[in-house]
Amino acid sequence: MMILFLLLAILGAALACAYFKTSITIWTIATAVVLLGFTVAGQPGWISLTLVWLVFAAVAIPLNHRPWRRQFITAPVLKMFATMTPQISETERVALEAGTVGFEGELFSGRPRWSRFIKKPLHELTVEEQSFIDGPVEELCDMINEWEISHYRAGLSDQVWDHLRKQGFLGMIIPKKYGGLGFSAVAHRAVLEKVAGLSSTVGSVVAVPNSLGPAELLLHYGTDEQKNHYLPRLADGREIPCFGLTSTTAGSDATSIADYGVVCKQKYKGKQTLGIKLNFEKRYITLAPVATVVGLAFRLYDPDGLLGEQADRGITLALVPRDTPGMEIGRRHFPLNNPFPNGPIIGKDVFIPLDYLLGGTEYVGQGWRMLVESLSVGRAISLPSSATGGSKTAALATGAYARIRKQFNMPIGRFEGVEEALARIAGYTYAMSALSRQTASAVDDGEKPSVPGAIAKYHATEMSREIIKDAMDVHGGKGIILGPKNYLGRAWQGAPIWITVEGANILTRSMMIFGQGAIRCHPYVLKELEALQIEDQDERLAEFDRLLFAHVGHSISCAVRSFILGLSFARFAAVPGDRRTRKYYRKLTRYSAAFAFLADIAMLTYGGKLKQKEKISGRLGDVLSQLYICSAMLRRFEHDARPASDQPILAWAFHDAVYKIQHAMRGVIDNYPFAWVRPFLRLVIFPLGRVERAPNDRLGHKVASLLLSPSETRDRLTRGIYTSDRSGYPIGFMEKLLPDVIAAEPLERKLLKASRNGQISGYTFEEQLEQAVAASVITEREREFLLDVRKRTLEVISVDDFELEEIQGGLSAFGDKVRGQRKKAA
């Protein structure tokens, strides 16, 4: 019996050391102290004690004596590690080196430092930036008629283009010394939210010049001459930029582009000039049809050694003016009825001088690194912000419509089926807003958030697709009839576009989020890979030994923490927060440890093949993503001073995310290749079983109700979007009507009761109101109010209809209309 107590005491000491992630030395001392105590007591007998001491010595001495440890343990592991380590391609290496590591690294540690994270303030708009939002951005939104843009013009009006140029929308990221606005990332986000929430076409035109485009690249890599020439012209709109990356045969695998340039000499402007002859065929290039300067990615060859000995110089970037001979540009793609300028660029034997190279000859062959570094910033802002703006608009509009639209004498938002959709819309919008704000703030902190950018791009666009689907379901026929009164149709059509661009979502989820995160954000993996590159054998062995045992200790610690925290519901974890949020931090602390352990198990099991195990990588990416999203939501909640009225939405979004974490982890375990290991993994990860549940109906009801009435919570959820009640903007019209609809509901209940009691029996609503006044059910003033509300309600639920010729006419019909107006004015 005493031997059992001894073994339990040794196990307890080991678990305590692992939980607190102590060193091998501390574990050795703790175990020796336990053994010494039992030895002094003479229990459980000298034979048993001697055997335990011998086993302990056999383990502890090699682990603590580093020369032996390195010779007999580390050296064989190093040899095996070198063979099983995935070969990192140059493309992947550049991507890994391009980004920085922020809070996502804390999630890989298994011990997130929550207090440090939430105390770091989110960036706010400056007075100047807020004035721009309230002034020029509001004015731009006043000019936008999305139906005219998408159905008749197939583009922006001259008035909108002039406003974009004059007010500096195309140069938000360009510093003031070059004539730009010099705005922060959070200001960039705020502008895109407001504009894209109203028009994805105008939002795209604003986003691209401020994202992956020549301006961003010029700021980081351009020569002084290039900066001084192009940046002022880009800032004031004299130059409209685009960037040609995707080619016919290379989309996601951008480094295998077939577009090429050959270094040669040719007559240029009457002089023999050293330059490059380009041949390329690009497609899907946003702003290409209207661009005046084209950023171009191509593979550069130097067969004659005019620039150096190397023949294949790698991916290189250049800036090519639109009027360069041999370049064809101007034709358009038509992406799902969203007419933002997008089209192909083709070049045949296009000669450019060397000073067209972006950054000059110094950056020859470094194009992929330049692009990845720029894309990590643009991906963290452009699409997440645009998707968030569209989702906020959908949330506001759907909530109002669900209260205004009635069936069976009650608002459709009160039906439980509709409540489910409204709860998802509100919860996802809250999560997206927190996520996009966190990544934008990270950029303003000086980070290049490659992994968070991929998380934000994937999940913001995926959640926005779910939101627009739910919004369309709630609106029913109102949502599918296109026309000036439809504010959802184009967003529904365009949802697959944002899923596809800037890295297809399937690729982003299955290869990028965890694929990059596992190496870049892990506390040891990248360092271990770097240790393999050390040339000195003894130095390499010593460094790898240090990292190996730190990594093993990390894995054991995460496993123990996952088990203990899961068993205790993390009640003893030191976390910040109040009585409502502390439980959320505890859950995340537990699942962070579980994720870190499961990630290590996956990397150990699959090794270099993990890159091909895209389903496993995708599920682990889901866990990392949801942990990061939950972190962003809690940070937002803290930043907003923990508003109690927002708590139901936070709770819904949090429980939804944690349930997805559980589901993804289950998928990893259930598909683990060694069946006999699965029970152990389930015990460590889910010691009490899978206890997480999706948000319940009661919570969903609370969340849905918050969208149906004006409130501070609803305002915070949808802040920053365009809500003007100007003529021709249905959403603003609904927002103005909503309080009156709510005020009319008690009167409508009086009418319904009177009708059931036989006091009124008119065939029409007007007759019923007259009878209700005569029967003193309502007053004359209330009758007029109800008539006004009914009139405006019918305007909200009405849809458009057209003559066949108007639908067939499209742009030509609009042209006839404009010509007629001009003739009349003349």
- How many other β-carbons are positioned within 10 Å of the β-carbon of residue 63? 16
> Which of 234-238, 573-577, 603-607 has maximum average pLDDT?
234-238
Residue 193 near residue 392 (C-beta atoms within 8 A): yes
Residue 88 has a pLDDT of 62
Q: Is it the case that residue 793 has pLDDT exceeding 80? A: yes
H helices, E strands: number in the chain: 36, 9
Residue 571 near residue 586 (C-beta atoms within 8 A): yes
Query: By percentage, how much of the chain surpasses pLDDT 90?
Result: 77
Nearest to 456 by CA among 189, 690, 743: 189
Residues 98-118 have pLDDT tens digits of 678 889 999 999 999 999 999
Q: Is it the case that residue 132 has pLDDT exceeding 70? A: yes
Q: What is the rounded distance in angstroms from the CA atom of residue 238 to the CA atom of residue 231?
A: 10
Q: Is it the case that residue 72 has pLDDT exceeding 60? A: yes
Residue 2 has a pLDDT of 82
Q: What is the rounded distance in angstroms from the CA atom of residue 149 to the CA atom of residue 143?
A: 11
Burial class (CB in 10 A: 0-12, 13-18, 19+), 414: middle
Q: Is it the case that residue 502 has pLDDT exceeding 60? A: yes
Q: What is the pTM of this model?
A: 0.93
DSSP character string of 548-576:
HHHHHHHHHHHHHHHHHHHHTTTTTS---
Residue 90 has a pLDDT of 63
β-strand partners of 276: 263, 352
Residue 818 has a pLDDT of 53
Buried b / exposed e across 2-21, counting CB within 10 Å, b at 16+?
eeeebeebbeebbeebbbeb
Q: What is the rounded distance in angstroms from the CA atom of residue 261 to the CA atom of residue 320?
A: 13
The identity of residue 424, as a single letter, is: R
Which residues, at least 6 apart from 91, have a Cβ–Cβ distance to it below 8 Å?
255, 368
Distance of CA 812 to the CA centre of its chain: 39
How much is the mean pLDDT over the chain?
92
Residue 86 has a pLDDT of 62
Residues 310-349 have pLDDT tens digits of 999 999 999 999 999 999 999 999 999 899 999 999 999 9
Residues 380-403 have pLDDT tens digits of 899 999 999 999 999 999 999 999
- The larger pLDDT score, comparing residue 525 to residue 181, is at 181
Structure tokens at 252: 């996601």
User: Cis bond leading into 335, ω under 30°?
Assistant: no
User: Reduced to 3 states, what is the DSSP secondary structure of residue 334?
Assistant: coil
Residue 655 near residue 694 (C-beta atoms within 8 A): yes
Residue with token string 């290991």: 677
DSSP character string of 583-610:
HHHHHHHHHHHHHHHHHHHHHHHHGGGG
Residues 447-484 have pLDDT tens digits of 888 899 999 999 999 999 999 999 999 999 999 999 99
Q: What is the rounded distance in angstroms from the CA atom of residue 458 to the CA atom of residue 316?
A: 28
Q: Is it the case that residue 822 has pLDDT exceeding 60? A: no
Residue with token string 């002094």: 40
Residue 665 has a pLDDT of 98
Q: What is the rounded distance in angstroms from the CA atom of residue 120 to the CA atom of residue 150?
A: 42
Nearest to 244 by CA among 230, 228, 261, 229: 261
Q: Is it the case that residue 444 has pLDDT exceeding 70? A: yes
Q: Is it the case that residue 553 has pLDDT exceeding 80? A: yes
Residues 611-653 have pLDDT tens digits of 789 999 999 999 999 999 999 999 999 999 999 999 999 999 9
Q: Which conformational region is residue 359 in: left (phi greater than 0), alpha (psi within -120 to 50 degrees), or beta?
A: left
Structure tokens at 470: 């739910």
Residue 9 near residue 17 (C-beta atoms within 8 A): no
- Among 122-126, 500-504, 537-541, which stretch is predicted with the lowest mean pLDDT? 500-504
Q: Is the dihedral of CA 302, 305, 307, 310 positive or negative?
A: positive
Known active-site residue 502: yes
Residue 610 has a pLDDT of 84
Residue with token string 């015990």: 683
- The larger pLDDT score, comparing residue 531 to residue 657, is at 657
252: confidence class by pLDDT, cuts 50, 70, 90: low
Q: Is it the case that residue 509 has pLDDT exceeding 80? A: yes
CA separation (Å) from 550 to 71, 184, 525? 17, 39, 11
146: confidence class by pLDDT, cuts 50, 70, 90: very high
Residue 608 has a pLDDT of 76
Distance of CA 30 to the CA centre of its chain: 46
Query: By percentage, how much of the chain surpasses pLDDT 70?
Result: 96
Residue 501 has a pLDDT of 86
Residue 181 has a pLDDT of 97
Residue with token string 């010509």: 819
Instruction: Catalytic residue, from 502, 528, 735, 782: name it.
Output: 502
250: confidence class by pLDDT, cuts 50, 70, 90: confident
How are the residues of the chain apportioned to helix, strand and coil, as percentages rounded to the nearest 5? Answer: 65, 10, 25
Q: Is it the case that residue 14 has pLDDT exceeding 80? A: yes
Residue 625 has a pLDDT of 97
